[in-house]
Amino acid sequence: MRRATLGSYLLHRSLPNTGRHGMRRALVNHYMSAESLLPWFPPGPGTAMGKHDHRDIVLVAGEDPYAFRGTDDIVHPHIRADGDGGCAR
């Protein structure tokens, strides 16, 4: 198994997601300062992208300066069924 830790300003990529037995499995975690906003998804009407904050987070250390906004539980980890992932062979 290969592991990589990449800084937020490091340009990086991977080769096509194919292998002898189908798609490679991946587990991705993103780490960032709790003081940063997380604008991963387009904001709703009337909200500027620079002020949007996706609050589906897990705080692992320190204090959340935006705790008054609460957190959401939106995105869940999942595993695709074998052969269901667009791996063209």
Q: What is the pLDDT of residue 34?
A: 85
| Distance of alpha carbon 76 from alpha carbon 32, whole angstroms | 19
| pLDDT of 82 strictly over 60 | yes
For the chain, the domains span: 1-89
User: What digits encode the pLDDT tens for the residues 8-42?
Assistant: 667 667 777 666 766 666 777 778 888 888 888 88
Q: How far is CA 3 from CA 6, 8, 25, 71, 88, in A?
A: 10, 16, 12, 29, 25
Q: Which amino acid is at 75?
A: V
* Mean of per-residue pLDDT scores for the chain: 77
More confident residue, 63 or 14: 63
Q: Which amino acid is at 69?
A: R
Positive or negative: CA dihedral 81, 86, 87, 89: positive
Q: What is the pLDDT of residue 31?
A: 81
